[in-house]
Amino acid sequence: MPSHIASLRGWHPALARAEIAALLPNAVVQRMSSRRLVRIDAELTGQEMKEAVLCSSGCQALLEHAVVWQKTESIDSLVERMAEYIDSHTRTGTVAVRSWKHDGKMEGVSARELVRKIGGLLSRKGYSINLDNPNHKIGMVLDAGAGIIACGWMLGTGNDSDGISARRATDRPFFKPVSLDPRLARLAVNLASGPIKKGATVDLMTGTGGFVLEASVSGRIAYGIDLDEEMIAGAQQNLDWAGNEGRGILLHGDATQLQDVLPRNAVGAISGFVLDPPYGRNSQGSLAPNELIRAVLNSSYNVSGPDSNFVLIVPIHPFGEHSDEELPLDAEIQLLHGKWATLQSCFEETGWRVVGQWVEHVHASLGRLILHAAIVPQD
Ligand SMILES: C[S@@+](CC[C@H](N)C(=O)[O-])C[C@H]1O[C@@H](n2cnc3c(N)ncnc32)[C@H](O)[C@@H]1O
């Protein structure tokens, strides 16, 4: 089976690994010795890989059938293997070579020299080099932490900045302090919804439209729901500003009563639910935080598709160091509001199974839990 390498951005590699696995559900995704490189084993079309990289928040590039060099080998052996690779993986059109680094400079290796050598190989094999606008690029990531170089035809930019954070929440016409960071919003949408064509996304409590905006600009059909009409009007302004093209649909209503809010044709066709509930008491003031989440989980279950996923983001007390890895499912977490055991029971009792959990450091007295659940299939 072919192996590809995904090169991840540095913001939260563990979440980025989960995101790329969700976007490529038929692939086996394995972490390499580097925290920012994953091996992807699957028979994938170029289109499937392109769609995954383009809509992802955490994947900076995918290197097709990549050659992997370890620091115990000589650099000449990498160049020789790249010569064979270029012969066996041909492309039509102009080309260029692009390199980037993880974890600083790799001792004893000049990226510039390697780019020159691989560029030389391409020229000798008859390719025209076009540095400004090539049809194809060979990407080369030098991961100093793990002592690995991965090299291959690339999809994606290789940039550490994702173009998503460039669309900062504060730049939108309608901003509130609750507005989510776009890169986290995009990642949560992808984790919950999977491949672009799988089905619609529901942003259950849309606020200023953080999730629905990211879902719709990445090409998904997405519904954003809120009880507060001011939020719906403001989220609409944000969608229009982002160039929504009709894929993001805002609905005024209650996320605990989805059957009454969603259009009929959406019921049973939802791939992912994303929830960023209000801190403390909900706007009606009638339900405690975990009880509101339970009611929303229950309502989501009733309109879900056969393999829907759910991503919840809730504030927690700081969780020590910024965690590089997924948390074990039996980790003890201190929620800012409500009891952890109660939140766990909300998922179990409404037909959802928690499949992954991560923390994000916000500041000295606040963290975020990102919790990923899958629907439990009915017999
Ligand atoms: C933390 S904010 C969401 C922020 C959002 N993620 C953003 O990027 O702006 C929570 C939102 O939930 C809404 N809300 C509270 N209870 C609700 C309910 N039962 N159904 C729908 N929306 C609700 C509030 O009006 C508020 O806008």
- What number of other Cβ atoms are within 10 A of residue 243's Cβ? 8
Domain membership of residue 161 (yes or no) is: no
> Based on the domain organization, do 138 and 228 belong to the same domain?
no
Which of 184, 187, 205 maximizes ligand 1 atoms within 8 Å of its Cβ, making it the mutation to test the pocket?
205
CA distance 339 to 353: 18
Task: Report the CATH number at residue 148.
Answer: 3.30.2130.30
Domain membership of residue 245 (yes or no) is: yes
> Based on the domain organization, do 262 and 147 belong to the same domain?
no
Which of 283, 290, 298 maximizes ligand 1 atoms within 8 Å of its Cβ, making it the mutation to test the pocket?
283
> Based on the domain organization, do 147 and 221 belong to the same domain?
no
Strand order in the sheet with 95-102: 28-31, 37-41, 3-8, 59-70, 148-156, 136-143, 95-102
Q: Interhelix angle for 46-55 vs 13-23, to 10°?
A: 140
Give residue 276 CA to ligand 1 midpoint distance, Å: 7
Give residue 334 CA to ligand 1 midpoint distance, Å: 22
Task: Report the CATH number at residue 344.
Answer: 3.40.50.150
Name which residue sits closest to atom 5 of ligand 1, judged by CA. Answer: 207
User: Which residue, among 58, 347, 339, 188, has the nearest Cα to 206 in the 3D structure?
Assistant: 188
Give the ligand 1 atom nearest the CA of 203.
6
Domain membership of residue 164 (yes or no) is: no
Domain membership of residue 133 (yes or no) is: yes
Last residue of a domain, one of 156, 184, 216: 156
361 bridge partner residues = 367
Name which residue sits closest to atom 3 of ligand 1, judged by CA. Answer: 207
> Based on the domain organization, do 16 and 63 belong to the same domain?
yes
> Based on the domain organization, do 106 and 177 belong to the same domain?
no
Last residue of a domain, one of 101, 122, 156: 156
pTM: 0.95
Name which residue sits closest to atom 10 of ligand 1, judged by CA. Answer: 278
Give the ligand 1 atom nearest the CA of 228.
25
Give the ligand 1 atom nearest the CA of 204.
21
> Based on the domain organization, do 175 and 152 belong to the same domain?
no
Name which residue sits closest to atom 4 of ligand 1, judged by CA. Answer: 207
Confidence at residue 137, expressed as pLDDT on a 0 to 100 scale: 98
Confidence at residue 321, expressed as pLDDT on a 0 to 100 scale: 61
From residue 3, alpha-carbon distances to 30, 38, 158 in Å are: 10, 10, 18
Confidence at residue 379, expressed as pLDDT on a 0 to 100 scale: 66
User: Which residue, among 157, 216, 210, has the nearest Cα to 182 in the 3D structure?
Assistant: 210
Give the ligand 1 atom nearest the CA of 292.
19
Contact predicate 53/140, CB 8 Å: no
Confidence at residue 280, expressed as pLDDT on a 0 to 100 scale: 60
Last residue of a domain, one of 135, 156, 177: 156
Confidence at residue 284, expressed as pLDDT on a 0 to 100 scale: 54
Give the ligand 1 atom nearest the CA of 180.
8
pLDDT along the chain (379 residues), means of 10: 90 96 97 96 92 96 97 96 98 97 95 98 97 97 97 94 77 92 96 96 97 96 97 97 90 97 96 91 68 96 96 90 80 93 97 96 90 90
Angle at 174 between CA 212 and CA 231, to 5 degrees: 60
Give residue 207 CA to ligand 1 midpoint distance, Å: 5
Give residue 376 CA to ligand 1 midpoint distance, Å: 26
CA distance 59 to 183: 11
CA distance 4 to 156: 13
Domain of 245 in residue numbering reads as: 169-375
> Based on the domain organization, do 273 and 251 belong to the same domain?
yes
Domain membership of residue 162 (yes or no) is: no
Name which residue sits closest to atom 1 of ligand 1, judged by CA. Answer: 278
Domain membership of residue 32 (yes or no) is: yes
> Based on the domain organization, do 200 and 327 belong to the same domain?
yes
> Based on the domain organization, do 43 and 139 belong to the same domain?
yes
- What number of other Cβ atoms are within 10 A of residue 225's Cβ? 25
List, chain by chain if needed, residues with CB within 6 Å of any ligand 1 atom.
178-180, 205, 207-208, 210, 225-228, 231, 254-256, 276-278, 282-283
Domain membership of residue 139 (yes or no) is: yes
Domain membership of residue 163 (yes or no) is: no
Give residue 254 CA to ligand 1 midpoint distance, Å: 10
User: Residue by residue, what is the 3-state secondary structure of the chain?
Assistant: CCEEEEEECCCCHHHHHHHHHHHCCCCEEEECCCCCEEEEECCCCHHHHHHHHHHCCCEEEEEEEEEEEECCCCHHHHHHHHHHHHHHCCCCCCEEEEEEEECCCCCCCCHHHHHHHHHHHHHHCCCCECCCCCCEEEEEEEECCCCEEEEEEEEECCCCCCCCCCCCHHHCCCCCCCCCCHHHHHHHHHHHHCCCCCCEEEECCCCCCHHHHHHHHCCCCEEEEECCHHHHHHHHHHHHHHCCCCCEEEEECCCCCHHHHCCHHHCCCEEEEEECCCCCCCCCCCCCHHHHHHHHHHHHHHHCCCCCEEEEEEEECCCCCCCCCCCCCCCCCCECCCCHHHHHHHHHHCCEEEEEEEEEEEECCEEEEEEEEEECCCC
Confidence at residue 243, expressed as pLDDT on a 0 to 100 scale: 87
What's the pLDDT tens digit per position in 38-84?
999 999 998 999 999 999 999 999 999 999 999 999 999 999 999 99
> Based on the domain organization, do 144 and 187 belong to the same domain?
no
Give the ligand 1 atom nearest the CA of 208.
9
Give residue 163 CA to ligand 1 midpoint distance, Å: 26
> Based on the domain organization, do 124 and 193 belong to the same domain?
no
> Based on the domain organization, do 63 and 27 belong to the same domain?
yes
Q: How many domains does the chain have?
A: 2
